[in-house]
Chain A
């Protein structure tokens, strides 16, 4: 049985863990993340929405043809902090847009609410989701979740590299939403370009979220706490790579029209002004129209600032 789970969601740690749990519960469940086909040309989707959101919806709709059911988690809250409002609406927007595909291609959608702080809560979500998928797809066996080997839990957390003591003086730190950092189409190939130029890269999500959130806390003020999880990740990473373990440069990758990044760009610029001898910092706004040459020019100029030019 094939389950469609859009690739873009998989870059969120908790969703990756949810997938692992579901796979362990039923090995007959095969996940498909990227569609080989295309979404319908016309969609009821606000053109001003950010590129990752549009891409995720197109991918989900295209997956309909290739799977038996779609798993579209409604990401609301993780680790006590909120997701962007777009994630809350995501399954509904996909479902409403199924009117744009033929009725025999439509597949059932399962959209568990992701409000999760620990593995116990995620297990409960996985259990209900598996049950729901089982009902829809009539899986023959559904092993108990408790049978899952403990070592396989929270894989994504285990994958975090310990970069606290690594020498980052010749490394460029790239900060941004996890799906932007991981998806070449969404990040306009910036990490790849840096590697081609011979520079190492390190990402905001290489540092455990708890550490980043703690760093971001210094800017919280009573009710004015940065309430989006990804924003805390980005602010924390900026602190980390400019104070704790300084990198040679920091690049913030922001999708065009991302409401969260619009505010973060202001905060990060302001923070950068206040840090003495701060690493070079640049924001690249990525969208579906950005041409590679434009990005190359900016990257080259940025690297020149760091390594190429010494002005006395």
Chain B
């Protein structure tokens, strides 16, 4: 058995840690390239959202590299994300690939449990007692690594905006994530993380006060830099601290329904969005609106709304935000992501947006 999983921010470090610690062979999908996008684009249609296309491309390349078992993060209705696995399976089969499939449920209910039981029937036969015995520690290790990755990414987003040489921060983050990935024990993991944090703090900073924006939108698009064309990093290089609430761990905690505090917070968000949306539209739509309200209340300089072309819930959020922006007196930049040749377009958009934010901060425009 050789498992593979999609790229979703630093999720691969989490999955890899579990596989390595539990002694399961894995194939890491190649970094997302133009070819990855093209595989997804040519095998689907124009109205399928970009995350699905890229995930599909990731899987095809991993299967070409020898993987035979795909592990996919699941989700639920009413948005399309809940059916990604159903559709990707169809496309892969039609392309002639042979594989086995395991969905990590996004919502833990009896149907998800039954599906998991069915999907792991064959897989369980290939796992030894040793593999199973190592699982609790493997999950703990993966969870710790993921928390470190997210903490480091958040710190990097803050430091990058103030750094004289933001590229330096990018390299440090890359180097530290690599060290986290390689760490085999809890102590080496902790050491790698702390060294990374120390390195960030040693970065030479400029005196220009950074701007602060909230990034809201569709989860996959927010979390995966190859999908959002590195919006977070691009903004960081322009002196903007990007904050977001969407991290892989957030969605695991949300799905497991064990973190009462998080669930309460999300309910509060839904209530706050009620000012514009009186019903839960689904996926992150109401949260994009609520987080924008929160950003305005907390004095953020702006909001970047990132979502894939044709995303049903986020299209509605975009309509609402086009009214909420002037209403709340906060600049909102919608970034709709689809094709591959968008780097320069996004740079232009972001530069203009940051100019507006800076002028506003300096009191030059209202």
Contact = CB atoms under 8 A, between A and B. Distances in A.
Contacts of A85: 78-79, 281-283, 285, 312-313, 316
Closest 6 CB pairs of A and B: A222-B115, A262-B47, A89-B316, A223-B111, A259-B312, A227-B77
Contacts of B99: none
A258 interface: yes
A96 B326 CA distance: 13
> Among the interface residues B45, B80, B277, which one has the most CB atoms of the partner chain A within 10 A?
B45
A84 B279 contact: no
Interface stretch (B81-89, B159-167, B197-205): B81-89
B13 to A, nearest CB: 27
Given A85-B283, A86-B316, A228-B78, A223 B48 contact: no
A45 interface: yes
Interface stretch (A28-36, A132-140, A187-195, A263-271): A263-271
B279 A92 contact: yes
A48 B315 contact: yes
Contacts of B82: 227
Contacts of A169: none
Contact of A223 (B115, B313, B322): B115
Contacts of A197: none
A226 interface: yes
Contacts of A49: 315-316, 319
A14 B112 CA distance: 30
A86 B48 CA distance: 16
A46 interface: yes
Interface string A278-292: 000000010000000
B83 A263 contact: yes
A130 to B, nearest CB: 20
Given A222-B112, A224-B86, A259-B310, A84 B91 contact: no
B48 A44 contact: no
Interface in B65-110: 74, 76-80, 82-83, 85-87, 90-91, 93-94, 103, 105, 107, 109
B173 interface: no
Contact of B312 (A84, A91, A111, A265): A84
Contacts of B175: none
A76 B285 contact: no
B267 interface: no
Interface of B: 44-49, 74, 76-80, 82-83, 85-87, 90-91, 93-94, 103, 105, 107, 109, 111-112, 114-115, 118, 276-283, 285, 309-313, 315-316, 318-320, 322-323, 336
- Count class of interface residues, chain A: 35 or more
Contact of B319 (A46, A111, A221): A46
Interface string A28-60: 000000000000000011101100000000000
Interface in A190-243: 221-228
Nearest to A265: B45
26 contacts: A44-B323, A46-B316, A85-B281, A85-B282, A88-B280, A88-B281, A88-B282, A89-B277, A89-B279, A93-B319, A96-B323, A223-B103, A223-B107, A224-B86, A224-B103, A227-B78, A227-B82, A262-B44, A262-B45, A263-B87, A265-B45, A266-B45, A266-B48, A270-B93, A270-B94, A285-B47
Contact of A89 (B74, B80, B285, B336): B285
Contacts of A76: 279
Contacts of B93: 270
B47 A256 contact: yes
A223 B105 contact: yes
Contacts of B83: 224, 226-227, 263
Contact of A222 (B44, B111, B312): B111
B323 A99 contact: yes
A74 interface: yes
Nearest to A263: B87
A84 to B, nearest CB: 6
Given A85-B78, A266-B44, 9 more contacts: A76-B279, A82-B77, A221-B86, A222-B112, A223-B74, A223-B103, A224-B86, A227-B82, A265-B47
A17 interface: no
Nearest to A96: B323
B282 to A, nearest CB: 4
B322 A44 contact: yes
A84 B276 CA distance: 19
Contacts of B109: 223
Interface in A73-128: 74, 76, 82-86, 88-89, 91-93, 96-97, 99, 111, 113
Contacts of B336: 48
Interface of A: 44-46, 48-49, 74, 76, 82-86, 88-89, 91-93, 96-97, 99, 111, 113, 221-228, 254, 256-263, 265-267, 269-270, 273, 285
> Among the interface residues B47, B109, B311, which one has the most CB atoms of the partner chain A within 10 A?
B47
Contacts of B111: 222-223, 225
A112 B316 CA distance: 19
Given A46-B318, A49-B319, A259-B49, A267 B90 contact: yes
A300 B319 CA distance: 39
B312 to A, nearest CB: 4
Nearest to A255: B47
Given A96-B319, A222-B114, A259 B80 contact: yes
A84 B285 CA distance: 13
Nearest to A90: B316
Nearest to A254: B47
Nearest to A227: B77
A106 to B, nearest CB: 15
A257 B310 contact: yes
A96 B281 CA distance: 15
A258 B315 CA distance: 11
A33 B347 CA distance: 45
A285 B310 CA distance: 14
Contacts of B77: 82, 227-228
Contacts of B78: 82-85, 88, 227-228
A84 B114 CA distance: 26
